[in-house]
Amino acid sequence: MMSQSLPTTHIKAVVFDAYGTLFDVYSIGALAEQLYPGQGLAISTMWRDKQIEYTRLITMSDPHNSVGSKHYQPFWELTRLALEYTLDRLKLDRGTPVVESLMDQYAKLTPFPENLGVLQKLKASGITTAILSNGSPDMLQSAVASAGMTAYLDHVISVDTIKLFKTSPESYALVEKNISVRPNEVLFVSSNCWDALGGTWYGFNTLWINRAGLPYETIGPKPTFTGSTLSKVLEVIDQNGHS
């Protein structure tokens, strides 16, 4: 894993992606497996891929609208529609009780085990902590509360306010609109390499949490830092300090 330091940069804020980074989007596979034996992995994988595909389709089809994409639908609705597509694609029944059961579980996704301890240490150090997510405000609030993270996050920022999803520059600019920092004073943390790339292009210091041991994207610069768990955040902060 790449380890790089930025001796002239002081990190003032650590900003996390939510889904896949703080909350395990594939943990939904356990319930999906119970509901559809033998299909849990396929459902969770296709569901996630289609969810992200829909966000890109919406933003790319109307990227410069000053009031957000005219095609915009909240992330919660896209999550439901992506689930319905997935069940249709796999030729599985998508009766209302089943869909509601999976959606209810999605609102309370399992956090990764080290996350709470990392957030507690960051909070104790005085560094600003935040989420920047495609997630709708209500679903983010539910996930954060369910994971016991509310007290350790200073800001929970949703792209819902601009109606454009990541990786639009407008989405990353929400960090500066909510926190008094410059891009090079931000450590942006994501488990999605495409998101880390978008943040790098925007000007953030980036940390890719590569839990699955995937290759780097073959376009654009590599993330500033890479680690296999969220604990890497503490190492980066320790190396670079904060002010």
pLDDT at 64 (0 to 100):
75
Domain match, 19 and 134 both: yes
Domain match, 55 and 37 both: yes
Domain match, 90 and 164 both: no
- Both tokens of residue 199? 């943040």
Distance CA 103, CA 74 (A): 14
Among 106, 130, 149, residue at a domain's last position = 106
Among 106, 129, 162, residue at a domain's last position = 106
pLDDT digits (tens, 9 = 90+) for 164-196: 999 999 999 999 999 999 999 999 999 999 999
**Active-site amino acid positions:** 17
The predicted model scores a pTM of: 0.92
pLDDT digits (tens, 9 = 90+) for 35-48: 999 999 999 999 99
84 lies in which domain range? 25-106
> pLDDT band for position 63 (50/70/90)?
confident
Distance CA 4, CA 140 (A): 31
> pLDDT band for position 91 (50/70/90)?
very high
As a whole-number percent, the residues of the chain with pLDDT over 90 amount to 88
Residue 1 has pLDDT above 50, yes or no: no
Distance CA 149, CA 132 (A): 14
Domain match, 91 and 129 both: no
- DSSP 3-state of 188: strand
Task: Centre a 10 Å sphere on the Cβ of residue 3 and count the other Cβ atoms it contains.
Answer: 11
pLDDT digits (tens, 9 = 90+) for 195-236: 999 999 999 999 999 999 999 999 999 999 999 999 999 999
Domain match, 18 and 130 both: yes
Among 82, 106, 130, residue at a domain's last position = 106
- The residue-averaged pLDDT of 141-146 equals 94
